[in-house]
Amino acid sequence: MSDPLTAAVLAWLLAAVDQSPALALQGGLGGVGEVVFGVLLWALDQWYWLMDWAYYFTGLEMLDPRYRYMHRALLVGLCVGVMAPLIGTFLVHRQLALIGDALAHTAFAGVAVGLFLNAVIDLGVSPYLTAVVVAMIAALFIELISETTDAYNDVSMAIVLSTGFALGTTLISLNAGGLAVGVNQYLFGNLSTVSPQSAGILLVLFVVIVGTVAVTRNQLLYVTFDETAAAVSGIPVNWYNRVMVMLTAMVVVGAMQIMGVILVAAMLVVPVAGATQVSRSFTESLVVSVVLAELAVLLGIGVAYYGGVTAGGIIVLIAVGIYVCAVAIGKLQSARGERETSEMGGIETDGADGGIGTGCDRP
């Protein structure tokens, strides 16, 4: 295989089939593939080492080296705690809070596609891989429907949501219900099913999402708060809208491992909603939302392990509890005059004069 990029793609597909990222380093695949998967394996090994030390100092049972699946679940949870509010902050301020729910239902269709292919033709593809592909295609369709038909965003989201869920249920029923048991872990999330391969996919998504937002933050901020002015200034608004929905699709699939399809959208919205109650600027809201999300994830995974409850459900309940506390704190701050109310729901933009430019004068 002379093309290193093709070799990398084939290596990823082979790893998805075998459920082991180590396969990517076998068979003489070099170049980009060897570097990427070598880094993933090294990162996972370092995380295991860190968890072993944490167990040594804390003695917490869920950190026991025998329970590597819990180590991977914690890694996935921490990554989701950054990715979800990072993208969710932009979505909430663009009044696109429900897009996560729409893409979650299409991700369910992607999982059903993977399970169907595995059951019917024994393809052996990872359902998470098919979920990524289907969710990103659906994200583009949401934008294309809005752009070509002048329909409101909620109309395009409703169309994609219902289509995705209909496709998923149809594929499951075609196999005489035989996929129903296999799909449960994707609907509700399961800590014990986070494999090394799915954790590797999550790490790739994490790097892509954080890197993209870091590079395009100013433009995304401009488009979020003043799309018309952004278009006039020469920013390709449609392109950045597509980038945002595709990043949202990646977050949904990444969080689906522990949250499940049904509850994954909550992590895009609830921590951000709580952060807006106690923050004075967009940047502050972004940082606070990440902190609140991480707190909900860590507490939720701990309660799920020791209490024997579903991780996704308890994480969302804790996040909602934190939101209620944030609302109370925000009301107290407002009553004491410690918090100024702006025209944008209590969040000031990051521009020097209350507006947003491509340079974002104030971080």
- pLDDT tens per residue, range 257-316: 788 887 888 999 999 999 999 888 888 999 999 999 999 999 999 999 998 888 888 999
Q: Which is nearest to 83 in space by CA: 196, 201, 164, 188?
A: 201
Is residue 19 in some structural domain? no
Note the pLDDT tens digit of each residue in 327-342: 999 888 887 775 455 5
Amino acid making up residue 320: V
Is residue 252 in some structural domain? yes
| d(C-alpha 244, C-alpha 324), whole Å | 28
pLDDT score of 21: 39
Judged by phi (left if over 0) then psi (alpha if -120 to 50, else beta), residue 27 lies in: left
Q: By the 8 A CB rule, do 237 and 147 touch? A: no
Range of the domain at 91: 67-335
User: In degrees rounded to 5, what are phi and psi of residue 121?
Assistant: -115, 10
Q: In this structure, what token pair is assigned to residue 103?
A: 């893409």
Give me the number of domains the chain comprises.
1
pLDDT score of 121: 77
Question: Running DSSP on this structure, what letter comes out for residue 192?
Answer: G
| d(C-alpha 278, C-alpha 89), whole Å | 14
Is residue 257 in some structural domain? yes
153-174 and 99-120 helices cross at what angle (nearest 10)?
20
Q: Which is nearest to 254 in space by CA: 244, 268, 242, 274?
A: 268
Q: By the 8 A CB rule, do 267 and 80 touch? A: yes
Q: Which is nearest to 203 in space by CA: 43, 15, 26?
A: 43
Is residue 362 in some structural domain? no
| d(C-alpha 113, C-alpha 119), whole Å | 10
CATH code at position 263? 1.10.3470.10
Please state the length of the chain.
Answer: 363
Non-local (6+) Cβ contacts of 205 within 8 A are: 83, 132, 250, 251, 253, 254
Q: Which is nearest to 34 in space by CA: 21, 44, 47?
A: 21
Give percent helix, percent strand, percent coil of the chain, each to the nearest 5: 75, 0, 25
Is residue 87 in some structural domain? yes
Is residue 165 in some structural domain? yes
Question: Running DSSP on this structure, what letter comes out for residue 328?
Answer: H
pLDDT score of 324: 95
Is residue 273 in some structural domain? yes
Q: How do the pLDDT tens digits run along the chain, 363 residues long?
A: 444 444 444 444 444 444 443 443 333 344 566 677 778 888 888 999 999 999 999 988 999 999 998 999 999 999 999 999 999 999 988 888 888 888 888 888 888 888 888 777 777 777 888 888 899 998 888 888 877 776 666 788 888 888 888 988 888 777 655 555 566 777 777 777 788 888 888 888 899 999 999 999 889 998 888 888 888 888 898 899 889 989 999 999 888 878 888 788 899 999 999 999 988 888 899 999 999 999 999 999 999 999 888 888 899 999 999 999 999 998 888 877 754 555 445 555 554 334 444 344 434
User: In degrees rounded to 5, what are phi and psi of residue 281?
Assistant: -145, 165
pLDDT score of 119: 76
Is residue 158 in some structural domain? yes
Non-local (6+) Cβ contacts of 345 within 8 A are: 93, 276
